[in-house]
């Protein structure tokens, strides 16, 4: 057993040793820390000079992110000043950039430095700024990290500028790339840059096009003109020019272009670049071509009335305008059920416009015969796949066949073939259908025209016949009336002589008989005169249009006609002046008034003329208070030789003449009458 004091003494010693040991360690630690501090101090002093002299912001921070040193620029940039406050960089990292910042920091620790850290930070005033930081670690002599330093550049403005520039670049590229027009930049007429549209047009890539002389791409036909313009541009006469030219495609086809070339000059005025805008107008050109074709055809159809003439126009115009290899027009022969070639263009026609080896295609045979039967147009891209195809002079691979339909019936077929496959387009088909419609209309018109001409000639003939008949009738009336009148005169003379020669032996009865005889002669004479007047009413040679004062007419009539004392003749004080033939107007009134006089049976007779003015005509009336006319005779009285009077007082011609005259002036005549009361005649005369 050990002595307890001894044990305590031993423990105390041990404790003393441990403390000594701990103190030694502590001392060592402290000296270490002092060393670090010393080194840091040294480094700090080392950098201090640099520190003050750099314009960029500079910060020094410990590994926890606490800033331990910052220059004035940094103070200005961040708004924090470590002299007054704590500043830890972790607190100012823009939220979206945190991950990037941490990664970058890890990389800094790993590599010892990090360049071109670009991220956003919050300033003290919560402003967001873009900064670019180049940083490195600081080690102590033993190689331990003691701090990190960074040069911070404010790139907010630069960043903004870059964004704008990028945007503009992007916009410009968008414009250029999305432009439907091809854009070509050339230097000394060699391609420097092209846009997508132009690459698409030419079927070449930007690389393939680079450095290619522009003339290599276009057809030679426009080169001369192009060179001429270019020379003028070089000499400064012009700054831009337009040109229509064809450009080659990679696949051997071409496109038609409207090219607009501008000069881009340097400060001295020399041409630096040529900028060309290239528009593919192939389709537009084709459309115009088709429209022109249609126009040309329409024009050429004018005056052509038969299918043969029209067919030749179709064949020639279509083939020429649309650059078809051939075009044949067939006519349907319904009787023999065949199609006959009646016009053509191309291999089927010789120099005398005669069809070589004319063939007749039976209905239903070949594509043409088939179309004739169905009445439906056909567009065939490859005839070698079509069993119906009939080789005429040689096989051609494309075919377009359109029926000409008039009145629902196929009367002909327009057909064109081409050596190339897929030569004909839907546009071609549409055009040919239009042409066929046009032909149909033209032929229908022609048929109508023929009918019209025929009808016109028939009308003319009828009119001539009518005129001749009228003339003959008038002549006849004159001759007959002369021949009839002469004997009347002879009879009258003979009676007179008889009376003279046998005066002594003739008693009163005989004289009375002779008077009656003479009376009959007078009636007959009046009748003949009436017929004559009637027949000459419409004699155009004698119609004049003059101003007729109706009042004067009525005054004249009063002197011609005997109006008995007991009949009052009344007319308005103011009567119009009308445009007509005076003699005829007088005939109208004279006939109506003398009729009225004849039929007045009252003790106090009255005849009254009145008138109304209408917009387009005058309306007159002649009224009497005579015997009147029964209703069933109202129409009859206007017919020639119709008289209601049995006593031979009238000839029955008077009212016919009146009606005929009124009708001559596009007027109307009618009667209102009550038997025993009187009669009122109305008539109108066109103004």
Partner 1 sequence: MIGDITLTPMVENLSFLFIEDDEIEVMKFKRSLKKLGFKHRILEAKNGEEALAILKKKEELPNVILLDLNMPKMNGLEFLKELKQDEHLRYIPAIIVTTSNNHKDMLESYKLGIAGYIIKPLRYEDYILKIQRVIDYWMVNEVITF
| In contact, 326 and 393? CB cutoff 8 Å | no
DSSP strand E in 160-270: where?
A: 182-187, 190-194, 240-248, 254-265
**Residue 344 CB partners (closer than 8 Å, separation 6+):** 315, 326, 327, 328, 329, 355
Give 485 or 606: the residue with its C-beta nearer to partner 1. Answer: 485
Give 518 or 598: the residue with its C-beta nearer to partner 1. Answer: 518
Q: How far is CA 545 from the centre of its chain?
A: 51
Minimum Å distance from CB 477 to partner 1? 9
* d(C-alpha 437, C-alpha 571), whole Å: 68
* d(C-alpha 630, C-alpha 370), whole Å: 76
Minimum Å distance from CB 409 to partner 1? 57
Give 308 or 489: the residue with its C-beta nearer to partner 1. Answer: 489
Minimum Å distance from CB 490 to partner 1? 4
Binding site for partner 1 (CB under 8 A): 478-479, 481-483, 485-486, 488-490, 492-497, 518, 521-522, 525, 532, 536, 539, 541-542
Token reading at 659: 């009606």
Q: Tokens 């009375």 appear where?
A: 512
| In contact, 629 and 675? CB cutoff 8 Å | yes
Give 497 or 641: the residue with its C-beta nearer to partner 1. Answer: 497
What is the residue-wise DSSP string for 579-616?
Answer: EE-HHHHHHHHHHHHHHHHHH--SSSEEEEEEEEE-SS
Minimum Å distance from CB 547 to partner 1? 21
* d(C-alpha 644, C-alpha 634), whole Å: 11
Minimum Å distance from CB 529 to partner 1? 8
Sign of the C-alpha dihedral, residues 506, 507, 508, 509? Answer: negative
Give 370 or 584: the residue with its C-beta nearer to partner 1. Answer: 584
Give 479 or 577: the residue with its C-beta nearer to partner 1. Answer: 479
Minimum Å distance from CB 496 to partner 1? 4
Give 587 or 625: the residue with its C-beta nearer to partner 1. Answer: 587
Token reading at 166: 């990028």
What is the residue-wise DSSP string for 425-439?
Answer: -HHHHHHHHHHHHHH
| In contact, 421 and 398? CB cutoff 8 Å | yes
3 state DSSP class of 318: helix
Minimum Å distance from CB 519 to partner 1? 11
Minimum Å distance from CB 654 to partner 1? 18
Give 243 or 491: the residue with its C-beta nearer to partner 1. Answer: 491
Give 363 or 514: the residue with its C-beta nearer to partner 1. Answer: 514
DSSP strand E in 486-635: where?
A: 546-549, 567-570, 577-580, 605-613, 617-624
Minimum Å distance from CB 448 to partner 1? 42
């Amino acid at each position: 057993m050990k002595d307890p004091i001894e044990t305590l003494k031993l423990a105390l010693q041990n404790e003393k040793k441990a403390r000594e040991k701990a103190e030694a360690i502590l001392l060592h630690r402290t000296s270490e820390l002092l060393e670090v501090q010393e080194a840091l101090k040294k480094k700090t002093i080392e950098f201090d000079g640099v520190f003050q002299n750099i314009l960029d912001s500079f910060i020094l921070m410990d590994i926890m992110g606490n800033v331990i040193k910052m220059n004035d620029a940094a103070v200005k940039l961040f708004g924090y000043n470590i002299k007054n406050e704590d500043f830890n960089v972790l607190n100012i990292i823009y939220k979206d950039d945190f991950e990037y910042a941490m990664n970058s920091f890890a990389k800094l620790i790993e590599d010892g430095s990090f360049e071109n850290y670009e991220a956003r930070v919050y300033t003290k005033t919560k402003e967001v700024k873009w900064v670019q930081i180049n940083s490195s670690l600081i080690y102590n002599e033993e190689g331990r990290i003691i701090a990190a330093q960074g040069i911070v550049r404010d790139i907010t403005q630069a960043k903004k500028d870059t964004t704008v520039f990028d945007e503009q670049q992007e916009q410009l590229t968008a414009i250029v790339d999305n432009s439907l027009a091809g854009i070509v930049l050339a230097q000394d007429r060699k391609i420097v840059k092209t846009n997508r549209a132009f690459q698409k047009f030419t079927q070449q890539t930007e690389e393939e096009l680079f450095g290619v002389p522009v003339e290599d791409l276009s057809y030679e036909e426009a080169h001369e003109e192009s060179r001429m313009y270019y020379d003028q541009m070089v000499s400064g006469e012009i700054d831009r020019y337009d040109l229509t030219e064809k450009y080659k495609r990679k696949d051997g086809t071409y496109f038609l272009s409207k090219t607009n070339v501008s000069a881009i000059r340097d400060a001295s005025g020399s041409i630096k670049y040529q900028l060309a805008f290239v528009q593919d107008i192939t389709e537009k050109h084709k459309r115009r071509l088709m429209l022109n074709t249609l126009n040309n055809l329409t024009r050429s159809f004018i005056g052509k009335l038969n299918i043969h003439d029209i067919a030749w126009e179709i064949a020639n115009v279509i083939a020429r305008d649309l650059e078809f290899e051939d075009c044949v027009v067939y006519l349907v022969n319904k009787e023999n059920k065949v199609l006959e070639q009646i016009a053509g263009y191309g291999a089927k026609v010789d120099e005398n416009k005669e069809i070589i080896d004319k063939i007749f295609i039976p209905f239903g045979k070949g594509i043409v015969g088939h179309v004739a039967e169905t009445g439906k147009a056909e567009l065939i891209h490859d005839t070698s796949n079509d069993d119906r195809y009939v080789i005429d002079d040689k096989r051609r691979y494309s075919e377009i066949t359109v029926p000409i339909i008039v009145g629902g019936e196929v009367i002909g077929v327009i057909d064109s073939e081409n050596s190339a496959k897929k030569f004909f387009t839907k546009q071609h088909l549409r055009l040919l259908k239009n042409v066929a419609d046009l032909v149909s209309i033209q032929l229908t018109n022609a048929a109508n025209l023929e009918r019209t001409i025929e009808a016109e000639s028939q009308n003319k003939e009828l009119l001539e016949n009518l005129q001749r008949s009228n003339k003959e009738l008038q002549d006849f009336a004159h001759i007959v009336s002369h021949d009839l009148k002469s004997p009347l005169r002879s009879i009258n003379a003979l009676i007179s002589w008889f009376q003279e020669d046998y005066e002594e032996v003739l008693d009163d009865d005989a004289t009375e008989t002779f008077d009656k005889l003479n009376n009959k002669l007078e009636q007959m004479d009046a009748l003949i005169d009436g017929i004559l007047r009637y027949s000459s009413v419409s004699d155009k040679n004698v119609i004049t249009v003059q101003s007729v004062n109706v009042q004067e007419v009525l005054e004249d009539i009063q002197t011609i006609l005997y109006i008995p004392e007991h009949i009052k003749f009344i007319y308005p004080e103011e009567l119009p002046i009308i445009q007509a033939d005076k003699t005829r107007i007088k005939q109208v009134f004279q006939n109506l008034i003398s009729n009225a006089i004849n039929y007045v049976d009252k003790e106090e007779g009255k005849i009254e003329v009145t008138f109304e003015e209408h917009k387009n005509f005058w309306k007159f009336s002649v009224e009497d208070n005579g015997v009147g006319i029964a209703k069933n005779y109202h129409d009859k009285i206007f017919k020639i030789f119709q008289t209601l009077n049995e006593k031979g007082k009238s000839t029955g011609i008077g009212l016919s003449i009146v009606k005929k005259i009124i009708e001559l002036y596009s007027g109307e005549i009618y009667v209102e009458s009550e038997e025993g009361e009187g009669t009122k005649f109305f008539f109108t005369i066109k103004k």
